[in-house]
Amino acid sequence: MDKKLIVANWKNHPQTLAESEAILDSTDEFLGSLSETEKFSLIFCPPFVFLEEVGKILKTSHLIHQSELGAQDISIDDNAALTGEISGPMLQKLDVRYVIVGHSERRWKLDESSETVNKKLKAALRNELVPIVCLGEKIRDENFKKFLYDQTIKTFDGLSLDEVERCLVAYEPVWAISTTLGARPDTPQSALESVGIIRDVLISRYSLVASRYLYGGSVTSANAREFLGDEGFDGVLVGSASVKKEEFIKILTIAGEL
């Protein structure tokens, strides 16, 4: 089995650098206790304000062998004056390797369109970052397949095969994200059906044969084994459980056992 990826999307948590350090300390201690290292890789995506410090910590001790730094967003433009934005070159200078684009909280709560997501995706690729491209329907109704199809086309519009190949695709149905009212996790079986829709678009438009797919949406220690153990997924994107130290270690324990 290939090495699985566990992406920790901290969102706008924790509140302090000290709490961030505590999560990384406990992760480091756990990694040090593993007899077989590198069964899985970790990508930590902290809030911008902690990127630099988290990046330094990831270069130490056991974390250095198994973890990398990711950002949660990127500016559409590398140089233009855009108040509040963080550009690709800035991320590069902080040794950021991955960047989340198109997260549903940005799409739905901040009105980020697929056109803007597409520009951010291009900015990530231009700056040699690996985009973690989030896709997912808001409601699983009779139109969800068409929704996912259209969202995939618009999000990847204008990219070359080589560029699409460099992306990690995260299927994250909005209704499964823990902060959505009444959220419940998807099952691997139904999530794979959705991944199939995305994959079909990428094959038909870009002749893409190999790409990497993650699942995200209420991943916890209760369901991590199902998703990490399924060969249809290359890993998971973990939100709220990634800032709960004990729960996160439980997820890593499962990944270490696979």
- Nearest residue to the partner ligand PGA, using Cβ: 239
Q: Is 239 in the site for ligand PGA (CB under 6 A)?
A: yes
Q: Minimum distance from CB of 117 to ligand PGA (Å)?
A: 15
Near ligand PGA in 2-21, by CB under 6 A: 9
Q: Is 135 in the site for ligand PGA (CB under 6 A)?
A: no
Catalytic residue, candidates 68, 103, 112, 137 = 103
Count of chain residues binding ligand PGA (CB under 6 A) = 13
Alpha-carbon Rg for the chain in angstroms: 17
Residue 172 designated active-site: yes
Dihedral angle at the C-alpha atoms of 127, 132, 135, 136, nearest 10 degrees? Answer: -150
13 Cβ partners below 8 Å, 6+ apart?
Answer: 47, 240, 243
Q: Which is nearer to ligand PGA, 65 or 184 (CB)?
A: 184
Q: Is 177 in the site for ligand PGA (CB under 6 A)?
A: yes
Q: Minimum distance from CB of 237 to ligand PGA (Å)?
A: 5
Q: Which is nearer to ligand PGA, 36 or 111 (CB)?
A: 111
Q: Is 43 in the site for ligand PGA (CB under 6 A)?
A: no
190 Cβ partners below 8 Å, 6+ apart?
Answer: none
DSSP conformation letters of 159-188:
--HHHHHT-EEEE--GGGSTTSTT--PPPH
Q: Distance between CA 10 and CA 42 in Å, rounded? A: 13
Q: Distance between CA 89 and CA 98 in Å, rounded? A: 13
Active-site residue list: 103, 172
Binding interface with ligand PGA (CB under 6 A): 9, 172, 177-178, 216-219, 237-241
